[in-house]
Every structure is written in structure tokens, then in C-alpha cells.
Structure 1
Amino acid sequence: MLATDYLNHFNEIVMLIEMMPDMPDMIEDCRLWRPKSYQQHFRDSGFSEKELAIEAYDHVPNKFRTPFEATIAQMDAVILFTLGRMEAAHGAGDDQRLKFDCATSVEMLHKIMQVANGIIHGTTHVMQQGEIDDYMGV
């Protein structure tokens, strides 16, 4: 009952983060990114079946919706953390740190997106919060 189109919201920012070390002016586009709920993403999209996707979300069984929402919250947190680190490295002119931060962030975001994709396709596996906390130094 979940649509993979929602992951495009995250694929776009991950692509921008990947490009940042080589194209630092992409920081402006990164600054525009904001977390969006599943339903908000579809309200704002041109997806042909967006009304169905929005309505179906209310019928997603909790055994899928709960881990999905937890995974999305993890992804939002890592992206916002990453954007802050990128801003700091970019502002300091520290190209090596920017490159490292972007690469490690993209790796973590790909892991989280794989989990989200799995949930969309019917699994209930989630990433351990400890792994996210370790990444963010919490």
C-alpha cells in the first residue's frame, strides 16, 4: 500500500549531497530541502495516482506503517544533520571535510533508503537507532 515514488523526495537530496564536493554552489539547492510526510509529498507531486496514494496511506497496516515512519524519521534526521555539517565545512572552506562528510552521509542515507524500500515492498526490518546515533555522534 506504500508507493516507492515517495523515495524520490530523498533521492533528490542525496544526489545533491553527492554533487556538493565537486559543485559547492549546489549548497543553495540543498538549503531548500525540507522533510515532507508521505502524504505531503504526494499532495505536492505530479504523480498520476497521488490521491489514491494519499488515501491508501491511512490503510497501511501498523506493522508496516510504524517501521516506515521510524525509518523516515531517521532519514530526515540524518539529512538535516548532514546539511548542517555541510554548511559548516563549506563555510570554513574545508574541502576535505566536506568531501568526507558528503561521502559518509550518502553511504548512511543509501542504507536507510534500502530499509525504507524494503518496508514499501513488505518487510518490517528497520535500522537500529544505535547505528544512526553512532553516525551522528549522539
Structure 2
Amino acid sequence: MTLAEPTLGEGHLSADRLAAANINPRTGLATDYLNHFNEVVMLLEMLPDMPDCAEDVLDWQPLSYEQHFEASNFAEKHLAVDAFRAAPAAVRKALKDVVATLDTAVCEKQGRLRESDDIAAIAPVIARQTVEEVKPLIATASAIIHGHLDPASVAETDSQASIDALFA
């Protein structure tokens, strides 16, 4: 006997329960995941004024959606993971694609910090690039989570444009 996969809007994944937990009932995604990126962005932006933040930036590690919630204090973390797994495949893929680009962008900045002999000199450049490259990716991820973007269009345009911009 095979158990049916949970479905968004049904059972413990009811729209009311998801909404009460700050999980989008249509996408099955929670914006709490973006805190993982917002924290490192804040640190990257603070680098010019506080170069000692570099250590915290270097401690940051990419986390998948599920890894983030498994390690978080989010009250409904198990519900968030279940809803993610029940989310439409195209929505999950679109988010994963943007997150892969986000991870690459942040890791690239970490690499530049590690290689630098003068963090104070490179910090303004890294902070500017963070605003120009990373913040728009977080906005795209937020739009996916909120159901404001067609996942197919994100996969075809935004993610590729963001990847191209990183290596231009």
C-alpha cells in the first residue's frame, strides 16, 4: 500500500493552516527562507563601514530550502518542509534555480574576501555588487514564493540573465 503524497490545500496542508503559518497557500513556500540570504546581504552591505563583518560573511554557507527550515526556529518548520515538497514542481524548480544563482553570487563574494589582502579596499566594491546582483535575485525569489512570477518565465529569462550578469 502506497501513501498518497500530501496535496496543497488538503489535510494538514489546508490553505488556512498554511496562511496562518506564513506559508503561501498557492505556492507552498514561505518567505522565512529568504532570511538566510537577507542576513548575509546585510553583512555584505555593512563591510565598508565594518570590515570585521567579513568573518561572519565567510561563515555563511548555502542551505537548501529544506536545510534552512530543518535548522531554523520557525514555529511551523515541518509544515514548511511538507508544503515545499507538495508545491508545484515548476515553482520548486524556479526557486531552486534562483537560489543556485544566489548561492553562486554570495560564494563569489566570499571568494573575493578570502583572496583579498585589503578587505577595507575591496569592501565598497563587494557591497555595491551585492546591491546590484544579489538583491534583485532575492526579489525574484520573493516573487516566486508569493506566486507573482510565472515559474517558466523565471527559468528561461531571469535566472539566465542573472547568471550572465555574474560572469560578464
Task: Tell me, yes or no, whether TM beats 0.5.
Answer: yes
Deviation at residue 94 of structure 1 after TM alignment: 5.9
Q: Which residue of 2 aligns with 1:20?
A: 47
Q: Which residue of 2 aligns with 1:110?
A: 135
Identical pairs, percent: 40
Tell me the SS of whatever aligns to 1:13.
helix
Aligned length: 135
Deviation at residue 131 of structure 1 after TM alignment: 3.5
Q: Could you tell me which of 85, 92, 107 is aligned with 1:65?
A: 92
Deviation at residue 57 of structure 1 after TM alignment: 1.1
Deviation at residue 86 of structure 1 after TM alignment: 2.5
Structural mapping, 1:1-138, within 5 Å: 1-88=28-115, 91-93=116-118, 95-122=120-147, 123=149, 124=151, 125-126=153-154, 127-137=158-168
Deviation at residue 134 of structure 1 after TM alignment: 3.0
Moved over 4 A (4+): none
Query: Which structure is larger by alpha-carbon Rg, 1 or 2?
Result: 2
- Work out the CA distance in 2 between the residues paired with 1:93 and 1:72: 29
- Alignment root-mean-square deviation, CA: 1.5
Tell me the SS of whatever aligns to 2:104.
helix
Cα deviation 1:85-120 (Å, max 9, x = unaligned):
1233xx322634321122112321110011000000
- Work out the CA distance in 2 between the residues paired with 1:16 and 1:118: 23
- Work out the CA distance in 2 between the residues paired with 1:131 and 1:34: 20
Please give the TM-score of this superposition, normalised by the length of structure 2. 0.74
Please give the TM-score of this superposition, normalised by the length of structure 1. 0.89
Cα deviation 1:62-105 (Å, max 9, x = unaligned):
121111100000000000001111233xx322634321122112
Structure 1 runs not aligned, ≥5 long:
none
Tell me the SS of whatever aligns to 1:47.
coil
